[in-house]
Amino acid sequence: MPPGFYLCSADWIGRYMPEVWVQPDTLDDENRKFAQSPLRKPVFLNSLPKSGSHLLRNILRMFVPVEQQYKADFIQWPNLQQHKHAFNPARPMMSWGHLFMADASVIETAPTRRILLYRDPYDWVIARARFFLSEQFSGNVDHLKSGEFDVDELLTMMIFGLPGKAPSLNDIYELNVAAWLGTKTFIVKYEDLVHNLGIIDSDAAEAYFANLFEACGIERPGDWRDRVAIGSDRKQSGTAREQLTGVSVEFPETLSARHKALVDYQAPGLRTLLGYA
């Protein structure tokens, strides 16, 4: 899901809120099959769009009572004031969104346990392009689905953005990710999450998820692996790669050397800051 803002030279913010169509899941019913311990403090799952937001959210939904899950919307800058009650410490909830770092967002989320999810910019470029071309996405860049653009052109647009229509990679990462690194927040890398899902029976995965649950204020039950398996089922995520429909372009598994160089040119030092280089 693209962010709800367009930032250019830090001097103006747009109000671009695309429509995202997602099939409903059955996780509320699955959740109620397990004994749940209530949250004692609000949790906000902040994430870079197209970085595994639904994966992290769905896993953690299996550990929080349904009544404490704030489902009204993905919280973003344009709708922050409408949903700031999601962070009320007197009524602890787990909420989620794509909220960039600014004075109001820091103030409103101060009572929460902040979790920040992001992924390698190299892989994000491909994920963003695929999502823009899918039937699940609708916004002011729908002309990209016309078939008039080749893969290289589409990936380049994902890196540099489209003036007045879609922010550049650097714009998105700057306030959605990089600026939050200077605040109190618990970092989750998409790649680490996926890796530990793949070795779920190992001691390393147990330690990884123990740290994640502790950061969220979640009591780790003995059946945690069963819950993680249900929450991470890709069939429960309407935006998982295989759930996207209408994508007629075949994207590469990894960026070419040239496009990697363009990412590094457009956002110099970003991958080093995020721990990827």
Q: What is the mean pLDDT of residues 83-98?
A: 97
Burial class for 11, CB neighbours closer than 10 Å (0-12, 13-18, 19+): exposed
* CATH, residue 217: 3.40.50
Residue 181's pLDDT is what?
97
Pairwise CA distance, residues 184 & 176, whole Å: 14
CA 151 and chain centroid, separation: 24
Place of tokens 């995520």: 237
Q: Say which DSSP state 142 is in.
A: G
Q: Say which DSSP state 162 is in.
A: B
Token code pair at residue 224: 């945690």
Burial class for 165, CB neighbours closer than 10 Å (0-12, 13-18, 19+): middle
Per residue in 68-86, pLDDT (tens digit) is: 999 999 999 999 999 999 9
- The secondary structure of 98-141 as a DSSP string is E---SHHHHHHHTTSEEEEEE--HHHHHHHHHHHHTSTTEESTT
**Residue 5: inside a domain:** no
Token code pair at residue 133: 């071309």
**Residue 210: inside a domain:** yes
**Residue 166: inside a domain:** yes
Per residue in 186-236, pLDDT (tens digit) is: 999 999 999 999 999 999 999 999 999 999 999 999 999 999 999 999 786
Q: What is the mean pLDDT of residues 138-142?
A: 63
pTM for this entry: 0.88
**Residue 8: inside a domain:** no
Number of structural domains the chain divides into: 1
**Residue 246: inside a domain:** yes
**Residue 10: inside a domain:** no
Pairwise CA distance, residues 241 & 131, whole Å: 8
Q: What is the mean pLDDT of residues 135-164?
A: 78
Token code pair at residue 225: 């692996």
Range of the domain at 140: 19-274
